[in-house]
Amino acid sequence: MSCCEQARRQELEWLRQEVSAARGRRERLLPLLQEVQERLGYLPPQAMELLAAGLGIPLAQVYSVATYYRRFTLTPRSQHVLQVCTGTACRLRGADQLLSFLLQRLQPGTKASTGGGAGNAGPRGGSACGCGGRPAGESAPPVSVETVNCFGACGLAPVLAVDGRIHGRMDAGKAAELLEKWVER
């Protein structure tokens, strides 16, 4: 069994126990969704089914809650997530150029998306390879580039977050250094 599959089974076993201890307690849905998101980096269908059955909540309602909050994702996230602020203050100070630089540098293995929640970290799952126990076929690109509206750190514009950690007064040169240090190792 691969380390990924083993990690995934361990996480689902952990969830089974948690759900069993919380049987019928619907108020545990949000905290458990949050835990699964943090442990696996996303909410796999098996976890959703376990939660629905164990907490006595219709599966559609579990999905409805999971898709309502931006901090949850139903698909695997990349190992590294770069978030460029495209709020007004950051745009005035070069956020668009920063975003273009990152996309150019990281393509073709990079996806760009908008509206990712600020401060999200990548998966912290227990597998040695950092896959978070994702099953084969559910791969994500190694690096994702997202945009967010504002980190609330406008005085540091333009702002880039690398795996949830804020870096201020960014430009292409500094971003290139960060990529070499953190992402492209």
Q: Which residues of this chain interact with ligand FES, rule CB under 6 A?
A: 85, 87-90, 150-151, 153-154, 157, 159
Q: How far is the CB of 161 from ligand FES (least distance, A)?
A: 10
Complex with ligand FES: residue 72 or 151, whichever CB lies closer: 151
Q: How far is the CB of 118 from ligand FES (least distance, A)?
A: 9
- Strand duo 80-85 + 165-167: pairing: unpaired
Give the total residue count for the chain.
185
Instruction: Map residue 43 onto helix, strand or coil.
Output: coil
Complex with ligand FES: residue 4 or 175, whichever CB lies closer: 175
Q: Residue 161: phi, psi to the nearest 5?
A: -105, 130
Q: How far is the CB of 173 from ligand FES (least distance, A)?
A: 19
Complex with ligand FES: residue 42 or 151, whichever CB lies closer: 151
**Which runs of E-coded beta strand occur in 89-151?**
110-114, 143-148
Say if residues 3 and 38 touch (Cβ distance below 8 Å): no
Question: Of 141, 145, 150, 149, nearest to 162 (Cα)?
Answer: 145
Complex with ligand FES: residue 109 or 164, whichever CB lies closer: 164
Q: How far is the CB of 83 from ligand FES (least distance, A)?
A: 10
- Measured from each CB, the residue nearest to ligand FES is 87
